[in-house]
Amino acid sequence: MKTLAMNEICDNQLDGGIEGFVAHVNASLRGRTASEIVAWACDTFGPSIVLSSSFGVQSAVMLHLVTKQMPNVPVVWIDTGYLFPETYEFAQELRGKFQLNLQIYQSVLSPAHMEALYGKLWEQGTVDAHRLYGQLRKVEPMERALKQLNAKALLVGLRAEQTSHRKNLDIVHVHNGRLKICPILHWTAQDVDKYMEKHNLPYHPLKAKGYESIGDVHSSRPIAPNELVRITRFHGIAQECGLHMNWTDPVHEIEPLDISTIVIYSKPDCRYCIQAKEILQQKNLEFKEYIVDQDISTGQICERIGQVVHTVPQIFMYGEYIGGCTELKKYLA
């Protein structure tokens, strides 16, 4: 598989310039094994790649997959200060087993300091409180870690079947200006178990007590019969903690989708956006344009479309969602 040079990676901007790169990479990786995807990532990014781990139920899989190809890869662990004692013990076990280059990051606010300012956010039962907790204890430390480690790409163990958000991800996608790479995105729980058994890898000790997804003590519980795994997290308020979603978007009211015309969400310096507008102008089709991060946030676009998207333009034709520039060409052909 061809290794792409670092200068082919667009710097810290979600715009049309990276759309082609991401599409090319995902096409190249389609059908590849997890090991091959990891090999590509390590060869392409070298010292600029980082692996994140929560030391959860099946974290040994990604640690094994990656460290056997890049033994000294930085492994970022976000310690919220509210983890189970068993998680700290498990992390220590895996640190020794794989000789991990472990980088531990925490919030700038201690648990006591946060609770003094905001109370016990997990007890408030609102989405806003959940997001604030995630931002303070997980997202900010992770972003700080990745900046300090000069990370251009992040390897993660996300799987499509875990949440509705992850189901819509690509193996390689843009998140907060970096590439996020998901080698086991299309693995099932059975695939994970087979890999664990084949390589004699340990599960988190709380799995034996009925836990299938493990985070903070106050927001994780054992799974009940016929229950979805992610329901056991965050008291059912949300499926994600914020590490894999963009919760830093500005929040403001947006006008309803105009179904009487063509609507295009774009960025000024995006060549695919410019191309899409030129196509519409050549066909004498009127359209409304909204600037991403000015008129509308990426999160609001995702909500409007009903799935996660990471690129621009995003186009609606008279209320019908079309997609990007490529889809527009097909639609008008």
Is pLDDT above 70 for 23?
Answer: yes
Number of Cβ within a 10 Å radius of residue 107: 21
Tell me if residue 182 is catalytic: no
- What contacts 268, CB < 8 A, 6 or more positions away? 291
Is pLDDT above 90 for 296?
Answer: no
Give me the catalytic one of 42, 241, 273, 302: 241
Whether residues 275 and 204 share a domain: the answer is no
Sheet with 262-266: list strands edge to edge.
287-291, 262-266, 314-317, 320-323
Whether residues 25 and 135 share a domain: the answer is yes
Give residue 246's pLDDT: 67
DSSP assignment of 214-258 equals --BGGGB-PPPTT--GGGGBGGGS-S--STTS---S-----PPP-
Q: What is the pLDDT of residues 198-225, one digit of tens each?
A: 999 999 999 999 999 999 999 999 988 8
Q: Is residue 298 part of a domain?
A: yes
Total number of domains constituting the chain = 2
Q: What is the pLDDT of residues 84-95, one digit of tens each?
A: 999 999 999 999
Whether residues 42 and 162 share a domain: the answer is yes
* Domain with 279 in it: 262-332
Whether residues 204 and 129 share a domain: the answer is yes
Q: Is residue 247 part of a domain?
A: no
Whether residues 126 and 232 share a domain: the answer is yes
Q: What is the pLDDT of residues 251-268, one digit of tens each?
A: 445 678 899 999 999 987
Is pLDDT above 80 for 226?
Answer: no
- What contacts 86, CB < 8 A, 6 or more positions away? 204, 205, 206
Per the listing, tokens 């799995």 go with: 207
DSSP E strands, the chain: 49-52, 74-78, 101-105, 153-155, 172-175, 178-181, 262-266, 287-291, 314-317, 320-323
Q: How far, CA to CA in Å, does 189 sit from each of 159, 207, 326?
A: 9, 14, 34
The domain boundary, picked from 220, 236, 252, lies at 236
Q: What is the pLDDT of residues 67-90, one digit of tens each?
A: 999 999 999 999 999 999 999 999
Give residue 236's pLDDT: 67
The domain boundary, picked from 236, 270, 285, lies at 236
Alpha-carbon torsion angle 36, 46, 163, 232, nearest 10: 110
Q: What is the pLDDT of residues 119-171, one digit of tens each?
A: 999 998 877 788 889 989 999 999 999 999 999 999 999 998 887 677 878 89
Is pLDDT above 60 for 6?
Answer: no
Q: Is residue 160 part of a domain?
A: yes
Mean pLDDT of 11-22: 56
Q: Is residue 92 part of a domain?
A: yes
